[in-house]
Structure 1
Amino acid sequence: MSNNFYNPVSTYFGYGVLNKIDELTAGEKITLVIFPEARQLGLLDKVQNILGNKLLHIIEDVQPNPDVAQLKHTYENFWANFSDTDTVIAIGGGSAIDTAKALIVGTETGNFDSLIELLATGKQFVPSSAKKLIAVPTTAGTGSEVTPWATIWDSLLQKKYSLHLDCTWPTAAIIDPELMLTVPESITISTGLDALSHALESIWNVNANPISDTFAISAIEDIFTYLPRLKQDLDNREYRAKMALAALKAGMAFSNTKTALAHSISYEMTLRHGLAHGIACSFTLPYVLGLAWGRNDQRDEVLQKIFGTDLEKAKHKLQSFLQSLNVKTEFIDYGVKDSEAQEMISYAMQGARGKNFIVNTLS
């Protein structure tokens, strides 16, 4: 296990910190990437009023699970017509922030296909140019505001690409719980469970370290406490803030470890069965906990701080928690037969994220 921890993102947290985007972009030209509903919620007007004439360009047709077919036009239009942008501000959930991360990575041609070709190699590269990024999450779950990673999907070819470069670390993260007050119950739960998965995945991980563990344990305890309460009281400002902070802590944890097996399985569930990411990466957590338990004394010690020393009780606690949020926890519940589930798990073990799982390092 590593003892190193690194995170270069300047992070601002609390009600009202959205206004920070003004001083953080003084004298700059801005492109805004924002989710489509922001206009009717009045958030787009608010951001425009904060930024004023600095705002050059607005992209508001962000789609869930950013797909190459939709990103191509957005990307090429940006680099052809708004390349004088200094900073891209992403406001929204993980899809908005992932879209912005793809946008800021320039190719020599300004052609999106060139970016996909580079990503397809799976190797690091230095882009010909890059823009700065400020990430402003509107859901408590993505963690993308404090990590360099983005996922780009190709639904036609049933593939996903992982983007992670030095330049895709946001320069700043603005976590304002005010922006999360209008999030509906289903998305509140899905994104909250994404954060839970981030935290747990950072623990049963070959890259875990004492600092990531500290963030993860605190995040998990808060999610267990406050996500059920928030489900019952969506307008509660304290619970919204607690979940926003928990998601941030989970993001800090996996910013150094990356995710592991549950996320690797989730990609196949999303590609094959269209399952929303937060559910896809969390419904297997009791199963993966069972695989992780007993594999490494140090990792067990961390898990037992959360769940106690009895594996069956631990799995039951996690399963009951998910089910209390109306999340089903078996593959068959999502139309996946056992043969396909086992094939997906085996495939996921060999994926980049699956290889972070501690079971892969032990005989």
Structure 2
Amino acid sequence: MTHPAAGLVVMTSTERIRFGEPAATALAAEVGMLGAKRVVLIASTSLADRTDEIAKIEAALGARHAATFTGVEPHVPRDNVIAAAAVAREANADLIVSVGGGSVTDCAKIVPVMLKHDVRTPEDMAPYHITVDDAGAMVVPAFAPQDIRTICIPTTLSGGDFNPLSGATDPLSKHKQAYLERMMAPVAVILDPALTVHTPEWLWLSTGVRALDHAIETLQSFQSNDFCDGLAKSALDLLIAGLPRVKADPGDLEARLKCQIGVWQSMLPIIAGVPMGASHSIGHVLGGLCDVPHGHTSCVMSPFVLQWNEPVNAARQAPIRAAFGKPDVPAAELVDRFISDLGMPRSLAAVGVHADKMPKIAEYTMDDIWGKTNPRPISGPADVMEILELAK
């Protein structure tokens, strides 16, 4: 008799996902349900300065709009979080709403924790981020959950909107550090494909590859399961179909929504407990240390990590090959070709990272939350250097 594998799927504190309706309308409905009276927006600077989208959301909130903070920089330097928290504190916020890409989302998810614990300086954020012990296990600090919640309205495909995990960068070490608490997941997520037409093409497509990489690393992992594999396969189907359609026709809102739902599905395995691998751990370091945009880190690293892992997990890569319709072609080649056809960068040099940075990248990767959860074991910086050499 064959015995089934045991498993555990972790759920978040997110209660609702709204999709396909205007963001301002959906947010007004959510705020009404929650009874919030002092809503603080943390918004994309480009949306606020170059479009009327933020103004429309503010108008829909009416008297319930308390303040808007803009100016979140890529990879969320700690001082951005402190500045946003100061605005929310002054406004006596009872709800935080993010409108923008991954960095805006990350900032908005951390701010309520800073308010709860009255954190007012970048240095005082240190006790709240995850560390990694010598065995590679995450050490998650325990602290009281926040009092107020977050709603996320994403404009890119980075996927952090669905996750209780968030990130901010230490300005001194340039190390991007993770923050985790169950209530950091937004109470609701609003997916408005029409809002995303303002997102630059490179940003939409590269963060779409980031979402593709979530699904790819799930399917590579020996710690996944049938539930998570099924979500990852569906996510691949939606993203492989949707991303080229948006590149061909930026006004294809149906394709944009396919991409957004693909991101949602790609994130659920991570939330459920499937650890990511070397593409994500190296990517975190490339972002914080080298200022490489979130999406570009996966554009560069994902195929090379597939190639490096293939000797130990070729069977796990079979669904990836099948999703691209070419089961006999190596997954690394198929993903490489797909990313290249989208016009995205495919080497470290193409994103401004050269050999002199590689030893520090390898060292920092070992301190990442997923530095030691790759399917082909990474025992030290020398293993990371092998992958970086492929990618240079």
Task: Give the TM-score, by structure 2 length.
Answer: 0.82
Aligned counterpart for 1:255 among listed residues 271, 278, 303: 271
Question: Residues 265 and 281 of structure 1 are in contact (CA less than 8 Å); yes or no, is this contact kept in structure 2?
Answer: no
- The 1:184–1:262 alpha-carbon spacing in structure 2 relative to 1, beyond 3 Å, is same
Letter in 1 for 2:65: L
- The 1:166–1:7 alpha-carbon spacing in structure 2 relative to 1, beyond 3 Å, is closer
Counterpart Cα distance in 2 of 1:350 and 1:37: 33
Aligned counterpart for 1:12 among listed residues 18, 31, 38: 18
Backbone CA RMSD of aligned residues: 2.7
Letter in 2 for 1:96: V
Question: Residues 159 and 211 of structure 2 are in contact (CA less than 8 Å); yes or no, is this contact kept in structure 1?
Answer: yes
Aligned residue pair count: 358
Map residues 145-164 of structure 1 onto 2, 5 A cutoff: 145-164=161-180
Task: Give the TM-score, by structure 1 length.
Answer: 0.88
Letter in 1 for 2:94: D
- Match of 1:56, SS state, is strand
Map residues 122-201 of structure 1 onto 2, 5 A cutoff: 122-127=139-144, 129-139=146-156, 141-201=157-217
Counterpart Cα distance in 1 of 2:55 and 2:23: 16
Q: Does 1:101 align with 2:109?
A: yes
**Displacement after TM superposition at 1:344 (Å):** 3.5
Letter in 2 for 1:203: L
Counterpart residue number, 2:46: 37
Map residues 219-234 of structure 1 onto 2, 5 A cutoff: 219-234=235-250
**Displacement after TM superposition at 1:334 (Å):** 4.2
- The 1:231–1:147 alpha-carbon spacing in structure 2 relative to 1, beyond 3 Å, is same
Structure 2 unaligned residues grouped into runs of 5+: 132-138, 380-392
Question: Residues 349 and 360 of structure 1 are in contact (CA less than 8 Å); yes or no, is this contact kept in structure 2?
Answer: no
Question: Residues 91 and 138 of structure 1 are in contact (CA less than 8 Å); yes or no, is this contact kept in structure 2?
Answer: yes
Counterpart Cα distance in 2 of 1:108 and 1:45: 31
Which has the higher mean CA deviation after the structures are superposed, 96-105 or 242-251? Answer: 242-251
- The 1:45–1:126 alpha-carbon spacing in structure 2 relative to 1, beyond 3 Å, is same
Question: Residues 34 and 91 of structure 1 are in contact (CA less than 8 Å); yes or no, is this contact kept in structure 2?
Answer: yes
**Displacement after TM superposition at 1:354 (Å):** 2.4
Letter in 2 for 1:59: F
- Match of 1:50, SS state, is helix
Q: Does 1:320 align with 2:337?
A: yes
Counterpart Cα distance in 1 of 2:349 and 2:103: 28
Letter in 1 for 2:102: G
Q: Does 1:111 align with 2:112?
A: no
Question: Residues 72 and 103 of structure 2 are in contact (CA less than 8 Å); yes or no, is this contact kept in structure 1?
Answer: yes
Counterpart Cα distance in 2 of 1:237 and 1:45: 22
Map residues 166-315 of structure 1 onto 2, 5 A cutoff: 166-256=182-272, 257-296=274-313, 299-306=316-323, 308-310=326-328, 313-315=330-332
- The 1:57–1:324 alpha-carbon spacing in structure 2 relative to 1, beyond 3 Å, is same
State the percentage of identical aligned residues: 22
Aligned counterpart for 1:87 among listed residues 62, 82, 95: 95
